[in-house]
Amino acid sequence: MKAVLLVGGEGTRLRPLTLNTPKSMVPIANRPFLEHMIEYLKGHGIDDIILTLCYLPDRTRLHFGDGSNFGVKLTYALEDTPLGTAGAVKNVAECLDETFFVFNGDTYTDIDLTAMMEFHHNSGAKVTIALTPVEDPTIYGVVETSAEGRVQRFIEKPHRDAVTTNMINAGAYIIAPEVLSHIPNGLNFSFEHGLFPLLLKRGDPVYGFQSDAYWIDIGTPEKYLMLHHDLLEGRIARVFPGKPAGEGIWLEEDCNIHTQAQLEGTVIIGRNCVIGSMAHIKGPSIIGHNCIIDADSLVDGSVIWQNAQLGQKVSIRNCVIGENVVIGERTQCMEGCVLGSNVVVGSDQILEQGIKVWPDENP
């Protein structure tokens, strides 16, 4: 079965992490986001995947090739200018001659796609939208359905008094190819505000598949960090890279962990890492490949991308550190700091809570 993955966006909400890295290649537990998506789709028999690319496409194509190393067939569709969610799918319409899936490129989920497809066929829908419950629907567009699941209307960011459902669009769709005829050629056009309301107006059958499976939009650094905490704390089932090296500790090959280093909680450490004497890595934390965490440093609840170096007595708490970052000794990164790639921070600095540093800057 075929799927279209919409991974061409610039990931502006996830900046500064995505200024030099396309969102398909943003690491999740030391593997590109797209690797996780491919593994998830394969588990439901989806192995023919079209990737819509626009922003920094070469890095994705170089890593994944034709997909054969990952057990799937990959086709790439490049956009000169962004075409929107529906416009990007219209751009590959000639490849879609049977019912297919579409996925937004910034959601991580365990929705049962096999059950969703069965629901789609049984309902006679032209489009089925995966729906997920949220605590605060007022910041989303909610989807009202009948008792049978047929979509009745979309309400964008309703006031609290007007909330009738907490079900929102989860960014996963099943679409019959004939509905693509309603999408204009070569224009920026969305599913959410363009195609789906049009289909409702026409009276075409659009259904919502409700699921309380794990779902998160990783479009912000805060949600990106939350996903990692959820993964490491067991809220979503995944196989971690490396080999177990104690309760909750996962090490990849060729790591040098000092005997006096302390690893606590659930921690993943990538290959070729060096962890110094009295360094304290407190989970849920992930250390990328080729990192150096020097003596007496503290990493607490954080995600560090590859090739980063933390000097002696550095402290970071609930932070995201991009690739090739260097942090000088005795520097403190307070709660929620996000450092883009190639940032160099001097010694004896204090980075205030929530600060975001763009790539190649030296705060």
**What structural domains and CATH numbers belong to the chain?**
2-232 (3.90.550.10), 243-357 (2.160.10.10)
Q: Torsion over CA of 76, 79, 84 and 87, rounded to 10 degrees?
A: -80
User: pTM for this one?
Assistant: 0.90
Measured distance CA(256)–CA(266) in Å, rounded: 18
Tell me the per-residue pLDDT of 76-120, one tens digit each, with 9 for 90 and over. 988 877 788 889 899 888 889 899 999 988 889 999 999 999 999
Q: Where are the alpha helices (DSSP H) in the chain?
A: 33-42, 57-64, 84-90, 113-123, 196-202, 221-232
Measured distance CA(324)–CA(288) in Å, rounded: 10
pLDDT for 105 equals: 85
103 and 5 in contact (C-beta within 8 Å)? yes
Task: Retrieve residue 217's tokens.
Answer: 């939009």
pLDDT for 274 equals: 95
Residue 164 pLDDT > 90, yes or no?
Answer: no
Please indicate whether residue 185 or residue 338 has the higher confidence score (pLDDT).
338
Q: What is the mean pLDDT of the chain?
A: 90
Q: How many Cβ atoms from other residues are within 10 Å of residue 160's Cβ?
A: 8
DSSP, residue by residue, 230-291: HHHTTSS--PPSSEE-STTEEE-SS-EE-TT-EEESSEEE-TT-EE-TT-EEESSEEE-TT-
Strand, coil or helix: 34: helix
Q: Torsion over CA of 252, 256, 258 and 263, rounded to 10 degrees?
A: -20
Residue 160 pLDDT > 80, yes or no?
Answer: no
312 and 297 in contact (C-beta within 8 Å)? yes
Measured distance CA(65)–CA(42) in Å, rounded: 17
Measured distance CA(139)–CA(163) in Å, rounded: 11
Measured distance CA(73)–CA(334) in Å, rounded: 43
Strand, coil or helix: 220: coil
Tell me the per-residue pLDDT of 170-201, one tens digit each, with 9 for 90 and over. 989 999 999 999 999 888 898 888 899 999 99
pLDDT for 258 equals: 93
State the pLDDT confidence band at 206, using cuts at 50, 70 and 90: very high
Residues 6 or more apart whose CB falls under 8 angstroms from that of 210 comprise 131, 132, 133, 145, 149, 167
pLDDT for 35 equals: 92
Q: Ramachandran region of residue 184, left (φ > 0), alpha (ψ -120 to 50) or beta?
A: beta
pLDDT for 159 equals: 73
DSSP, residue by residue, 151-189: EEEEEES--GGG----EEEEEEEEE-GGGGGGSPTTS--
How large is the average pLDDT for residues 237-250? 80
Q: Which of 73, 157, 201, 243 is an active site residue?
A: 157
Measured distance CA(321)–CA(65) in Å, rounded: 28
Strand, coil or helix: 114: helix
Residue 211 has φ and ψ, to the nearest 5°, of -145, 135
Closest CA to 33 of 1, 68, 60: 60
Please indicate whether residue 1 or residue 308 has the higher confidence score (pLDDT).
308
236 and 266 in contact (C-beta within 8 Å)? no
pLDDT for 14 equals: 86
157 noted as active-site residue? yes
